[in-house]
Every structure is written in C-alpha cells, then in structure tokens.
Amino acid sequence: MKRIRRHTVHRLEPHGLTPAQGRALRVLAHADRCESPGRAIRLNELAERLNIAPRSATTVVDALEQAGLVARVPDPADRRAVGLRLTAAGRAAVDLLAQVRQEVAEEYFSGTDPADLAVMLRVLRTAEAAHARRQAEPDADRTSAAPPPAPAAGR
C-alpha cells in the first residue's frame, strides 16, 4: 500500500497538492455532496474528521485557501465562527484527485484477477464499515475490543 500512496503523491506533486490537502478536500467535498449541500464545515469539525489537531488543520486550510481551493465563509448561526467551503477550483481539484487515484489503482491492479479484486473490495468495505461503526459509538472503549480471529490453518 505504501507504493500506491507514494505513486499517488508523486502524481499529485506537479499540481501542488499534498496528501493532507487531498484528504481535507475530500472531506469538504463529501460533506457538501452527501451530507448537506451548501453547508460550510467549521475548522474544528474538519480537524476532527481528519483526526488531526486543530492547529494542523489550520495550516492545511491556510494553504488550500492561498491556492484558491477553499474559502472561509461567515457562519450565519454564529458571527464569530467561520465555515469552510470548496471553491470551483477546489471542486476541480477533488475531481483531479479522484482521477489520479483511479489511474494509479488501475496501473497497480492491472492484471489482477477480477474475482480477487472483488474479494479484496468486499473485505475492505466490511472493515471500513466496522471501523465507522466503532468510531460512531459514543464513549466506546476502543482499547478493550477483542482482536480479530486468526485465519484457519491451511487456507
């Protein structure tokens, strides 16, 4: 997986996008498209979704704003607060990210049996859904979760 990540980073460098910026753009795009279109996300909410410190999120957003990919907008519910929205250039950058990730995946997995890819996708989606459920549990003690069962011998 590190090779895929490195190859993706290399392909995004000419566009001036870092992995942290790409993740932030994807979070903002997902919130706008899927959760509540037109709603701006506050910086602390972005930091929480990225699982980074608010100060780190500020650094990422500052760079995205300077590049014209994100705009800070007033929060109508709280005049002291500021929301974050993708600009048209930011939406284009999200599309570029998706295209590069798709191309890298196609390069990396070309020649892989489609049945093997289907199994891999099913396992990854199951793991992601389980992780999302655990993360959504309030006050869940994540340290006491039992480890997954070991694979059966001979498989």
**Is 48 within the bounds of a domain?**
yes
Instruction: For residues 17 and 9, give the distance between their C-alpha atoms in angstroms, rounded to a whole number.
Output: 8
Q: Tell me what pLDDT residue 155 has.
A: 47
* Residue ranges of the chain with per-residue pLDDT less than 50: 142, 144, 155
| CATH number of the domain enclosing 44 | 1.10.10.10
**Is 34 within the bounds of a domain?**
yes
**Is 151 within the bounds of a domain?**
no
| Structural domain span for residue 11 | 2-111
pTM of the model: 0.74
**The two three-digit tokens of residue 34, written as one number:** 């899927």
**Is 96 within the bounds of a domain?**
yes
Q: Tell me what pLDDT residue 76 has.
A: 80
Q: What's the burial of 50, exposed, middle or buried (CB within 10 Å: 0-12/13-18/19+)?
A: middle
**Is 155 within the bounds of a domain?**
no
**Is 74 within the bounds of a domain?**
yes
**Is 67 within the bounds of a domain?**
yes
Choose among 66, 69, 68, 55: nearest CA to 24: 69
Q: How far apart are the first and last CA of the chain?
A: 23
Domain count, the chain: 1
116: three-class secondary structure by DSSP: helix
